[in-house]
Amino acid sequence: MQYAILIYSSEDIFGRLTDEEQEQALDKHRALQQELTGSGTLDAVAKLMDTSSAMTVRQTGENLLVLDGPFAETKEQLLGIYVIECETIDAAIEQAKKLPQGIAAYEVRPIGWGGGKIAVEDADS
Amino acid sequence: MLIADSLDESGAIAAHFSAARTRVLAALTRQFFDLDMAEEAYQEACKRALERWPLQGIPRDPTAWLLLTGRNATIDRLRKDKRLVFKDALPDVPVEGGNIEADIAELIDTAELRDDVLRLMFMCCHPDLALQDQLALALKVIGGFSVDKIARAFVVKPKAMEQRITRAKKRAAAIATQLESPTLQERAARLKAVCVMAYLLFNEGYSASGGDVHIREELCDEAIRLVRLLIRLFPSQAEVMGLLALCLFQNSRRGARLTSDGRLVALEDQNRTLWDQIEIAEGRVLLEKALRHGRAGPYQIQAAIAATHCRAQQAEDTDWAEIERLYAALEQVQPSPVVSLNRAVALSKTSDAQTGLAYLASHATTLDNYLYFHATRASLLQSAGQFEQAIAAYEQALLLGPTGQEREHIHQQIGSCKKSEKNIVTV
C-alpha cells in the first residue's frame, strides 16, 4: 500500500531557524530517506517551491480563471510530500514521527491510485 | 536524547516568534496607535509564550496567539496604570484555556492585516528619513534585528545607531499612526515605496562595501523575506514578483562573488558552477509568472537581464543581443544615465567598443561624477585601442573615491595600457 506524507507548515518557519537547526531538521529527512531507500519503500519525495511562485487554475461560472497565488490563503501551506510503501497506516505514522517535529505537521494519507514519477534535482548539486 | 529534543523545541519556538513578528507588530500598532507600545506588547506576548508553549505545545496559530496575548496584556496594564480607559471594539477573550485560535479567527481580518503590515513597512520608508535610517528602521521594526547587529551592518557604533533609530522611529511613528486604510491608488503607492526600500536593503547587503560578510548576507535574506511577505499579502502584483526574481537571481551568485579573502569577483570571472541553481529556478518561475500580466515594469526587466546572465553557462555564452534589447526596454520605462551606461556596454559586446563609446558619448554629460562611468568608458577605450584616452579616463575614475580593490584594479589596467601603448610605438 502506498501512503503519502504531506508536510504542512507556515512557510516562514524553516528559514527562521539557525543554520545549525536547519541542518538538524534536514538530517532527520535525510535519515528517513536513506532508511526508506535502503528498504526499497521510498517511491517519491518532493519539496515544493515557496507559494509566491504558485498559480491556481479554477473555473468560476463560465470562466476558467488563472489566479496568482496558492489555492488557499492559509497560515499553513503544503510544503512537500513523501510517497512511501507501508503495510499499515500505523507503520506510515511511525515513519512520519521520525521527521522534525515542532516546525511542521505531517498528514498521513493513503494513496488511492497513482502513476508517473517525480524526478527531483539533487539539492546539493 | 531529551536534551536534543528540548533544544529543537526552543529553536522551533524562536522561529515561530520571528515568523509571526511582522504581522503581530503591525496589528498591535493599529490597536494601540503606538509603535513602542506595540513592541512592548509583542515582547510580553513572547515572554508568556515561553512560559506556556513548552508545557501546552505550540499553538496552531502562533500569530493569533501572540496578537491576542500581547493585546490583552497591554490592555490589562493600561487599566491597572489608569493611564487611560481603553475601549475598543474587540471583546475580551481569556488567554487561559479555551481554544484561542477559534476565538480569534474572526477577529483577524485578512484584508485589514494586509494593510496593517503594509502600513508598518511604509512607515519605515518615510521620505523625511535619510536612506540609511530607513533601512536601519526597517531592520529593527520589520526584521526584529538587534541594534547591535544593525550597527555592525552599517559599521556604526551601537550607541550612535540606537540614537538614530530612536529618532527615526519617533519621526516615522508620528506619521504612521495617522495613516488611514489606503485607497487603491494609495495602496499602490505604498507598495511601490516599500519595494524601493526592500531593494535598497538587498543592495546594502549585496554591495561588499564594508562590514561583516555574514551580517551583509543577513540583510539580503531579510530583504528577500520582506518581498516574499509582500507577495503573500498582494499575490497578483507583477512588479513585486519581478523584484523577488531579481533579488533571487542576484543572490544566487552569492557563493561566487567573493574570493576566500573577501575580494569581489567580476561577473565574467565568476565560477558559474557555484551559482545556486535552486534560487535561479525559482527566480525564473517568478519572472514567467510576472510576465503573464503583460506589464513589464523596471523590476521585471532588470530580472530578465539577470536571468539572461544566469542562463549563460560561461561568460562567453552570454546573450548580449538579448541584454541590449532589455536595456533598451528599461531605458523606455525607467530612463537613467546608469541604464544607458549599461546599454553602451551591451552594445560594445554586440558590435564593438567603438559603437559602445559612440553611444556613451551622447549620454556623457550627466555622469561626470560617477566612478563607474569613467571606469567603464576607460575599459571601452582600452578595448578600442585608444590607450592614451583610456589612461586619462582611468585617472579620472581614481579621483572619485574607488575602494582599495577597485584602485588596485584600475592601476593594473593603467599599467597594461601603458605597456600596450609602448608596444604600438615600438612596432
Q: Where are the domains of chain B?
A: 7-106, 109-235, 368-427
Q: Could you give the angle at which helices B35-56 and B158-176 cross, rounded to 10 degrees? A: 100
Please tell me the predicted confidence (pLDDT) of residue B4. 43
B241 contacts chain A (CB < 8 A): yes
Contacts of B235 in chain A (CB under 8 A): 52, 67-69
pLDDT confidence band for A121 (50 / 70 / 90): low
Three-class secondary structure of residue A60 per DSSP: strand
Please tell me the predicted confidence (pLDDT) of residue B6. 47
What percentage of residues in chain B have a pLDDT greater than 90?
60
What percentage of residues in chain A have a pLDDT greater than 90?
82
Structural domain spans, chain A? 2-110
d(CA B98, CA B20): 21
Q: Report the residue from A16, A52, A69 with minimal CB separation from B19.
A: A16
Contacts of B281 in chain A (CB under 8 A): 49
Measured in angstroms, the CA of A38 and the nearest CA of chain B are apart by: 25
pLDDT surpassing 60 at residue B3: no
C-alpha cell at B369: 561624477
d(CA B137, CA B165): 6
pLDDT surpassing 60 at residue A123: no
d(CA B51, CA B221): 30
Cβ separation of B241 and A52 shorter than 8 Å? yes
ipTM given for this complex: 0.89
pLDDT surpassing 70 at residue B176: no
Cβ separation of B110 and A67 shorter than 8 Å? no
Please tell me the predicted confidence (pLDDT) of residue B78. 84
What mean pLDDT comes out for the span B11-21?
93
pLDDT surpassing 70 at residue B34: yes
d(CA B169, CA B29): 13
Contacts of B229 in chain A (CB under 8 A): 12
Please tell me the predicted confidence (pLDDT) of residue B288. 97
What mean pLDDT comes out for the span B86-106?
51
| Higher pLDDT pick, B214 / A120 | B214
pLDDT surpassing 50 at residue A124: no
What mean pLDDT comes out for the span B128-140?
91
Q: State the CB neighbour count (10 A cutoff) for residue B251.
A: 23
Cβ separation of A10 and B9 shorter than 8 Å? no
Q: State the CB neighbour count (10 A cutoff) for residue B133.
A: 21
Three-class secondary structure of residue B292 per DSSP: coil
What mean pLDDT comes out for the span B300-310?
98
What percentage of residues in chain B have a pLDDT greater than 70?
89
What mean pLDDT comes out for the span B326-331?
96
Task: With CA atoms as reference, report the closest residue to A25 among A106, A88, A83, A110.
Answer: A106
Please tell me the predicted confidence (pLDDT) of residue B195. 96
Which of the residue ranges A93-102, B253-262, B398-407 has the most confident prediction, judged by mean pLDDT?
A93-102
| Higher pLDDT pick, B177 / B400 | B400
Please tell me the predicted confidence (pLDDT) of residue B365. 66
B231 contacts chain A (CB < 8 A): yes
What mean pLDDT comes out for the span B122-137?
89
CB B88 within 8 A of CB B32: no
pLDDT surpassing 90 at residue B370: no
Q: State the CB neighbour count (10 A cutoff) for residue B415.
A: 11
pLDDT confidence band for B89 (50 / 70 / 90): very low
Task: With CA atoms as reference, report the closest residue to B241 among B296, B201, B190.
Answer: B296
- List the single range of A29-38, B142-151, B340-349, B399-408 with lowest mean pLDDT: B399-408
Q: Report the residue from A10, A103, A123 with minimal CB separation from B278.
A: A123
Please tell me the predicted confidence (pLDDT) of residue B395. 94
| Higher pLDDT pick, B127 / A18 | A18
Q: Report the residue from B18, B61, B286 with minimal CB separation from A75.
A: B61
The highest-level CATH class for domain A2-110 is alpha beta
What mean pLDDT comes out for the span B165-183?
80
Report the residue count for chain A. Answer: 125
B18 contacts chain A (CB < 8 A): yes
pLDDT surpassing 90 at residue B227: yes
What mean pLDDT comes out for the span B137-148?
93
| Higher pLDDT pick, A66 / B261 | A66
pLDDT confidence band for B177 (50 / 70 / 90): low
Mean of all residue pLDDT scores within chain B? 87
Residues 277-306 of chain B whose Cβ lies under 8 A from any Cβ of chain A: 277-278, 281-282, 285-286, 289, 292
CB B197 within 8 A of CB B129: no
d(CA B295, CA B238): 8
Checking B313-319 for CB contacts under 8 A at 24+ apart, the result is B313/B272, B314/B272, B315/B267, B315/B268, B315/B269, B315/B272, B318/B349
Cβ separation of B11 and A123 shorter than 8 Å? no
Please tell me the predicted confidence (pLDDT) of residue B402. 83
